Amino acid sequence: MNSLALSLILACSRGAPERSAEPEASVDEATQPDIVLVLVDTLRADHLGVYGYERPTSPHIDAWAQGASVFDRAYAHSGWTLASVASLFTGRLPHQHRTGHAPVADGLYCPLPDDVPTVAEQLRAAGYRTGAFINNTFLAPEFRLNRGFEHWDWVGSSNLEHRSAADTVAAALQWMGEAPDTPVYAVVHMMEPHAFYNPPEPFLGTFSDAHPLPEGQVIDRSTIVSWQTYEALPTPEQRDRLIALYDEEILTVDAAFQALLDGLEARPADRPTLVVFTADHGEEFWDHGGYEHGHTLMGELTRVPLIVKGPGFGAGRFSTVVSHTDLVRSIRRLAGVAAEPGGDLQGIAAAGSYAGPRLSVSENTLYGPPRVSIVDDGYRLDIRQDKQVVSLWKVAADASETQRVLGDQANALARPLFGQLIRIRGDAEPLASMTAAACSTEIPDPEVFSQLEALGYLDVRPEVPLDQAGGEPTGGGASAE
Ligand SMILES: [Zn+2]
């Protein structure tokens, strides 16, 4: 491991960020579409029917996706909310927007710096009404991702309570209908798949068994925290029940999404509508030994659904690697906003071929050691930054990443990926730009602080044994290839 890391570092030199040619969508730029970005918290792509899941968690999403551009290999730029959404809202990678968890100390968070422009600001300047309907406490106004939104409808949440997706959709539709002559950029965030999983009626019991759960079999908070902190593992029955409840939360999202589509359909519209369906990150169910999110950058946390329908995005299926910053570039182009020089790497569109190497970089872990990761068509290179330890994983045809590559073959395959990472990022070090001086030493609002505590985010986890959990071959799936 260490010799691999050393040889990689010696083999690669620093360089300027690399840009590749981006495809151009054939759209009428004189018509600014309404842009509706549906952002589901904590939704793994592979738990949707459209991405091959065996359970019918998403009948409405699946039906809508039939006429949409479906991206099979889409990635968020971090594995937890604040850092990931900052990339989605700015079109920049975490080391560029410097928003998230400061690597210098536990419990230190960096709000969006004033010098980083937002997509909402740019679309508002281009004539859009901008509104966001948000339910995650890590998106509280204190983190400043509301900049550029003239209407920021934020409701804080805990793991037990949050505004429902149905109510969020209703609020968004009402706001969109208030000034139908002006194009809108609306972000509709749904919190349901975030832990703890408490699916409402009538979805509770669709996939999970025994409701009400037998005495003693309820998954309580202390049990879940023990899983989050690697102190315990679930029984097979507990794991199955947990995933079934998570899947029922997806059903809740699916119903709310259909209500949103119905509402959009019912509007008097004299312009096209672009609807984007994606997530800020996924959820780990012990794919690499851990549970929940924020602690790694592996595919179960960074691969997200990305389904786009509207001008420039017709029916199609794409297996190329794309990312949230690619999506932002396309949103800007459709809105008539010029691309930021050097700010984006690539764009997506259903029309064109995809030139150049397709990569996605993810950064900024919330728990455990600092990490950075890069994935291409075939492999993921994951770097634990505090010790400069790397691991290489093969990306399977279904986009899972359970097969570790070892030995000389790993060294040879990892070198070009490491070179791409250095060209994009400058180095593989922890985020020096996110220092104590630039970040809040505490969450300013006591209420926000208490909500984060209720979410479990202020628990100081032990040094997570990620090299045991994710760095070593795991049972069954791993091989030396
Ligand atoms: Zn999230």
Domains in the chain: boundaries: 2-469
CATH class of 2-469: alpha beta
Distance 196 CA to ligand 1 centre (A): 13
Q: What confidence category does residue 212 fall into, taking pLDDT thresholds of 50, 70 and 90?
A: low
Distance 37 CA to ligand 1 centre (A): 15
Q: What is the distance in A from the centroid of ligand 1 to the CA of 14?
A: 32
User: How far is it, in rounded angstroms, from Cα 220 to Cα 224?
Assistant: 6
Given this model, what pLDDT does residue 22 score? 38
Query: Cα(319) to centroid of ligand 1, in Å?
Result: 24
Query: pLDDT band for position 341 (50/70/90)?
Result: low
Q: How confident is the model at residue 301 (pLDDT cuts 50, 70, 90)?
A: very high
Q: If you average pLDDT over residues 42-48, what whole number do you get?
A: 98
Enter the pTM of the model. 0.88
Tokens 């290839």 -> residue: 481
Q: What is the CA(139)–ligand 1 centre distance, in A? A: 9
Q: What is the mean pLDDT of residues 360-376?
A: 92
User: Is the separation of the CB atoms in 85 and 293 below 8 Å?
Assistant: no
Ligand 1 centroid – CA 130 distance (Å): 21
Ligand 1 centroid to Cα of residue 451, in Å, is 14
Q: What residues have CB less than 8 Å from 237, skipping those under 6 apart?
A: 217
The pLDDT of residue 449 is: 67
CA of 195 to the centre of ligand 1 (A): 10
Q: How far is the CA of 42 from the centre of ligand 1 (A)?
A: 5
β-pairing verdict for 69-75 and 316-323: parallel
Is the link from the previous residue into 56 a cis peptide, with omega within 30 of 0?
no
Stretch (H or E) spanning 81: helix 81-90
Distance 419 CA to ligand 1 centre (A): 30
Task: Please tell me the distance between residue 163's alpha carbon and the centre of ligand 1 in angstroms.
Answer: 15
Distance 425 CA to ligand 1 centre (A): 24
Residue 435 pLDDT grade (very low, low, confident, very high; cuts 50, 70, 90)? confident
289 vs 100: CA distance, rounded Å = 24
Beta strand segments in 183-261, E = 184-190
Residue 303 Cα to ligand 1 middle (Å): 13
Average pLDDT, the chain: 83
Q: pLDDT tens digit string along 95-118?
A: 989 999 887 666 788 899 999 999
pLDDT of residue 156: 87
CA 438 remoteness from chain centre: 24
- Average pLDDT of 78-106? 90
Report the separation in Å between the CA atom of 420 and the middle of ligand 1, taken as the mean of its atom positions.
27
Tell me the average pLDDT across 405-429: 90
407 CA to centre of ligand 1 in angstroms: 35
